[in-house]
Amino acid sequence: MTSQSILVTGGAGYIGAHTLVELVASGYTPVVLDDLSRSSMKLMDGVKQLTGKQLSFYQVDCADKTELRRVFGLHPEISAVMHFAAFKSVNESVEKPLLYFRNNIDSLLSLLEVMQEANVNRFVFSSSCTVYGQPDRIPVTEDAPFKRPESPYGATKQMGERILEDAVKAWKELKVVSLRYFNPIGAHPSGVIGELPIGVPNNLAPYITQTAIGKRSRLTVFGSDYNTPDGSCLRDFIHVVDLAVAHVAALSTIDQLPSRFEAFNLGTGVPVSVLELLNTFMRVTGVNVPYEIGPRRPGDIEKVYADPSKSNRALRWRTKLTIEDALRDAWRWEQNLAK
């Protein structure tokens, strides 16, 4: 059997690069497309080192239909698309809403239009638990209603899913899996690829590792008066390698799923607080992280964690790695970056 070719947009980003490694390990041939505006060839070099393969790579903006047509033309063997390419900073999206709507929605529409022309009809979408807002019931299941999004970034994920749900109704061959990520953390256990935040990180895990290595003087824990066991927010932190493996599972089951648009939670189902994550990092690495308790961050959700039973069942996938693994791996990556 010939290896299936998969177009991976945003393959030089954090989650994209980890997924490339798992795709190659499962016998797929990824074709990578990335505009490198928020990502780096450093991760592509790491992917090459880990897989021993030089993957086809195109520096292309996903909204550019002419370029997309060229890539599909060069690779008529592409049978599915994984769409990671998007902007993901909540703060930045509040400051530059038009940029976020233009980038995240335009790229999705261009890609779908060119896929239809090329007759490629399997699509895996990077969604987010942000679509739920603060859910009424936790752990949250996929049928929970969407709340009004807190940020333009969140709106682009809700709109993305809406576009895809409507597209499958009209385009009868299209099959879509939308993967709702909870909080991806960690790095490849080799320490060769990991997260590369631009500037000061917004997200907790890279802020912890950058403080531990001395790039930042101290971490601020945003809020200690939430209605949670230790007063800090509760999240569902998932190892990026478990998340990457779920994408391969989505691809291998997409033809067997009951409907042509299916959404799945990708989380562990285990709530972990911000303070717990921080203390676990200090325990497993033995490195002290100076921190202070600060005010709540506007727009933060108090608690959200996944009910992953639908993904466990339908994708025949479950998480295998722990937050301890993720924090050790993230620390190895941060130390390698400093070398």
Residues that bind ligand UD1 (CB under 6 A): 88-90, 128, 130, 150-151, 154, 183, 202-204, 207, 219-222, 233, 235, 274, 297, 300-301
> Minimal distance in Å, beta carbon 232 to ligand UD1?
7
Instruction: Report yes or no: 244 and 191 within 8 Å, Cβ to Cβ.
Output: no
> Minimal distance in Å, beta carbon 130 to ligand UD1?
3
Comparing CB distances to ligand UD1, the nearer of 120 and 185 is: 185
Catalytic residue among 14, 153, 207, 226: 153
Comparing CB distances to ligand UD1, the nearer of 55 and 287 is: 287
Comparing CB distances to ligand UD1, the nearer of 64 and 325 is: 325
Instruction: Report yes or no: 138 and 126 within 8 Å, Cβ to Cβ.
Output: no
Comparing CB distances to ligand UD1, the nearer of 120 and 306 is: 306
Question: How far is residue 94's CA from residue 150's CA, in Å, rounded to a whole number?
Answer: 9
Does residue 153 have an active-site annotation?
A: yes
> Minimal distance in Å, beta carbon 240 to ligand UD1?
12
Question: How far is residue 88's CA from residue 112's CA, in Å, rounded to a whole number?
Answer: 20
> Minimal distance in Å, beta carbon 36 to ligand UD1?
19
Query: Active-site residue numbers?
Result: 153
